[in-house]
Amino acid sequence: MESHKLSFVADMHTHTVASTHAYSTITENAVWCSQHGVKYLGMTDHGVELQDAPDTWHFENLKVLPDFLSGVRVFKGIEANILDTDGNIDIFPEKEAVYYNILEWVNASLHVPTFAPSTKKDHTKAYLNVLKNRYVDVICHSESPKYDYDIDEVTKACAEYGRLIEINECRLGRGGVSVERYKTILESCEKNGTNIIVNSDAHFYTHIGQFPLAEKLISDMGFPESLIINTNEERFLKYLDSRKRRTGKDR
């Protein structure tokens, strides 16, 4: 890929004050996006099993939010916690009908408080099983050495199921092991034709849509832009169409 500055139309992993370790409102996030060329914004606060996550009412009441704020399309989403090797997430059966009728984007993550680090085999199994949930869109921040997994097997599964692997700007900021792990992930994604999404994981509004470390890594590796769904509006909308077919939902 020719080295050039990428232009990102979407950031689909961001937090608001509903996750109490984040510090901006959804309105502040949307206004920032409108001023910086981000057309699509994922509002993805933490699932209820994380220590400082919002209550179930946060997600059940997302329907009151308009689809657009300051001209930015705001997706009602969640960063769900993967709870076990069966790929269960903290959208529980008794709430599934309500949640999935409202949620438009589902990130899935491993967090220490909700899934204690285990073996490579267990982590791999958890990722593979969560992909069987047709509503899950992205495996997020999977670079942590605490959660070693069979990267090639999981990226192949993502390609097969039409899901995304996240490159997380916040985690890249930690440097060292995180950068090296993301190199391995990107190599596997390129080999297997797996689409990726670059996200900020922003906990403050000025970080949304700002991906200098991810851009440098992608450029240095020559990773094909055709596999990055949020640098091109047509590719992003194509993914949304595939999501509608997969979930049977218009939203």
Task: Give yes or no for a contact between 211 and 198, defined as CB atoms under 8 angstroms apart.
Answer: yes
Residue ranges of the domains in the chain? 10-247
| 4: confidence class by pLDDT, cuts 50, 70, 90 | low
Range 39-56 average pLDDT: 96
Task: Give yes or no for a contact between 72 and 114, defined as CB atoms under 8 angstroms apart.
Answer: no
pLDDT the model gives residue 249: 81
45's CB contacts (< 8 A; 6+ apart) are 15, 16, 18, 19, 22, 53, 54, 58, 78, 79
CB atoms within 10 A of CB 198: 26
The domain made up of 10-247 has a fold known as: TIM Barrel (3.20.20)
Q: Global pTM?
A: 0.97
Range 165-185 average pLDDT: 96
Which alpha helices (DSSP H) does the chain contain, by range?
A: 26-35, 56-60, 93-102, 120-130, 151-161, 169-172, 177-192, 212-221, 233-247
pLDDT the model gives residue 2: 44
| 205 pLDDT above the threshold of 60 | yes
| 187: confidence class by pLDDT, cuts 50, 70, 90 | very high
Question: With pLDDT > 70 as the criterion, what percentage of the chain qualifies?
Answer: 98
| 1 pLDDT above the threshold of 50 | no
